[in-house]
Amino acid sequence: MTPCRRALLYPVFLLAAVLLAAATGSAQPSPAPKGAPAAEPERLLQALEHAFASVADRVMPSVVNVSVKPRKTASSESGEGPDVEQRFKEFFGPEFFDRFFRRRGPRDEGRAAGSGVIVDRQGYILTNNHVVEHAAEIEVRLSDDRKFKATLVGRDPKSDLAVLKIEAPPASLPVAALGDSDTLRVGQWAIAIGNPFGLDRTVTVGIISATGRTRVGVATYEAFIQTDASINPGNSGGPLLNLQGRVIGINTAIVATGQGIGFSIPVNMARDIMAQLIARGRVVRGWLGIVIQDLTDDLAAGFGLSAAHGVLVSDVMAGSPAEAGGMRPGDIIVEFAGAPIKDITDLQKRVAAVAPGYPAALAVIRDRKPARLSVKIGEQPAEETQIAALQKEESLGLTVESLTPEAAERFSLSARAGVVVTAVAPGSSGAAAGIRPGDAILEVNRQAVADLGSFRRIMASVKPGEVMPVYVQRGGGGNEYVVLKAPEKP
């Protein structure tokens, strides 16, 4: 072999030796190629080890422990958690959930803990929404053992992100640098830092296994970084880092049934959401006001399409931007703002990115023919509005669901829009009004109810003690108005 060819192949041999040693966990590196210095592979492994240690030394001071004293709620006292808790239980398993949310330390009874990372010298901290969403008090402990009461600047359940703020001299705060998650490649090293199982600032290492992961079931807007760097209860809210020590993600979850599968929110998404939460305390997203479903092969064939490409509109909410723009149930959205639409996640992400008030062009297939529409994008209802509506439903003693064709058949209803009452609490306002299980609610306060979403938007605006006409269809036939009075206190 000529010296030139030997020089070209030598780095390849060394890389193979490094990867083999890392994969096997062996302390003995593979032999160097003939003629190479024996110590060279060891030197490269030591350089990699130094890189990991340097990142930990530099970034660990900016990683904080977030200690939360949960507020008491009616749902927590009854043992029934909110929807987000149920989603976490279903996806990650009850053992993970109970260990994370219900864990109690020996010295501070009734507190839950997570992680966060300081990203600005003004005291702003990124963490997960699920770490702080039920917090009555939030305390942050730094690596030098300083403790601060933290203020919740804002949270975004739909991405599982939250921003905290502590008041401290800016010069005294260690800050982590943010990277660029759009440039990540599968196979890159990834380093996670957090406080798993109450163990202060633990470092784990792995690689980026995938990017842009959706349909994980943790948040509405998902484009997760998947990593095999160990993420455990308590790591939530901590940073995922590259070898340069820059934050590339915010750790959010693990899969309890999978080994080496963890997820982080891309830092570019976190950066944008953080800016909105700091500026206005909430995240503003675009909204069409439609109910959508994925287009399966069978549905595509039924609508006369040769391939399952696009998203099917199953309902259009009354008074929504989509209704004003002429959208109809049965439309298949194949293009939004000039970009082809693959699936629900793709459409949700693109619509959310459009500022409310701006028009967007849509291409749809309607009755097997292409059509073009222009819809003026609205503002997505806030999470707090949805919560307020749920509280109103509970206070009225009503349990409702969208009036699907299946529900209409089950309760012998001819109405095609509205909500169906599945339960009425005895002694409640709903019971006093004469509303019964099986009734379809078509109007509230002279406003048409299209589906569960529109019902909750209307209910969120109802004032305590307000008396309102409710138009119902009785199961088996017959429509009538009833008078419903909202309780004085929700």
Q: What is the DSSP string of 165-207?
A: E----GGG---PPB--GGG--TT-EEEEEE-GGG-SSEEEEEE
Residue of 67, 130, 209, 320 marked catalytic: 130
Neighbour-count burial of 487, counting CB atoms closer than 10 A to its CB (0-12 exposed, 13-18 middle, 19+ buried): middle
- For the sheet with 161-165, list strands across it: 147-149, 135-141, 63-70, 112-118, 124-127, 161-165, 151-156
Contact between 152 and 277 under an 8 Å Cβ cutoff? The reply is no
Catalytic residue among 62, 159, 209, 236: 236
Beta partners for residue 369, in sequence order: 366
Cα separation of 252 and 182, whole Å?
18
Q: Which one is catalytic: 62, 134, 156, 160?
A: 160
Pair of tokens at residue 81: 């958690």
CB 168 within 8 A of CB 122: no
Return d(Cα 123, Cα 455) in angstroms, integer.
Answer: 40
Q: At what angle do helices 3-24 and 40-59 cross, to 10 degrees?
A: 50
Q: Please name which of 385, 394, 382 lies closest in space to residue 486, comparing C-alpha atoms.
A: 394
How many residues appear in the chain?
490
Q: How far is residue 59's CA from residue 53's CA, in Å, rounded to a whole number?
A: 10
Any catalytic annotation for residue 130? Answer: yes
Asked if 160 is an active-site residue, the reply is yes
Q: Where in the sequence numbering do the catalytic residues fall?
A: 130, 160, 236
